[in-house]
Amino acid sequence: MPRKAKESEASGGEMTELGPQEAPTLDTPAETQAEARVEPTGETKAIRLARVAELASVCVACDLAQTRTKVVFGEGNAEAPLMLIGEGPGQTEDATGRPFVGRAGKLLDECLRENGITRKHIYICNVVRCRACVLEAGRLKNRPPTPEEARTCAPWLEQTIEVVQPLVILCLGAPSANAIIHKGFKMMQERGQWFESKYTRYAMAALHPAYILRQQGEAYETARRSLVTDIAAARQKVIEAKREPRTTLF
């Protein structure tokens, strides 16, 4: 990605039908599928994102393709100045093909609404686009994506950011911050701080809603308030960034 750094259901436009030559098939070598790119053509961002999502929908570059139901590419406003990035889809997301639609997604929506934000104002996606799971006692259970799975999926994340060009990125959870801000991110020490990354001038990390849901009592309330506060900070940073000269990151 050509920029130095200090650290490290597309919407809003009419969708076009993709020709068969534009997307890899299951016969395409796996190592080339995640490298497939949609080059700028003067189309709207929504159309470009739809084309990238079509390419990603048949990706078999890693073993997650063997157990997924649907690729969870992302959704929201392709013109959004704020992008939220989580770790990876869970069971509900895998079934629906939409990011953050389970219990964690409901909590996230609540915290967004408390800041006057809905999904039509943002773009939301994950570092990994397929559910990472393991078979236990005859059932598939969620597991964290491996570093290799995240690296293999990185081209889809990079192309998403390249198309949307968000002014601000809010990372939900440490794995997202590791990918966007810098390796070895320490959530409890670095949460709520602004960083410059190769993907955007302003990046910050917040607690993942799934982590918040695992807390109880006052710990839950404190963690939830922190997410509301961090979303508010991201919203304010968007307002400030819009007053600054725009830079092209890609």
CA distance linking residue 226 with residue 191, whole number of Å: 9
Query: Vertex 16, ends 14 and 20: CA angle to 5°?
Result: 165
Give per-residue pLDDT as tens, 132-156.
999 899 899 999 999 999 999 999 9
* Mean pLDDT for all residues in the chain: 87
Question: Residue 78: which of 120, 37, 45, 42 has the closest Cα?
Answer: 45
pLDDT exceeds 90 at position 38: no
Q: How confident is the model at residue 218 (pLDDT cuts 50, 70, 90)?
A: very high
The pTM of this model reads 0.82
Give per-residue pLDDT as tens, 106-132.
999 999 999 999 999 999 999 999 999
CA distance linking residue 195 with residue 191, whole number of Å: 10
pLDDT exceeds 70 at position 21: no
Give per-residue pLDDT as tens, 224-234.
999 999 999 99
User: Which pLDDT score, from 0 to 100, does residue 42 have?
Assistant: 74
Higher pLDDT, 15 or 210: 210
CA distance linking residue 104 with residue 249, whole number of Å: 31
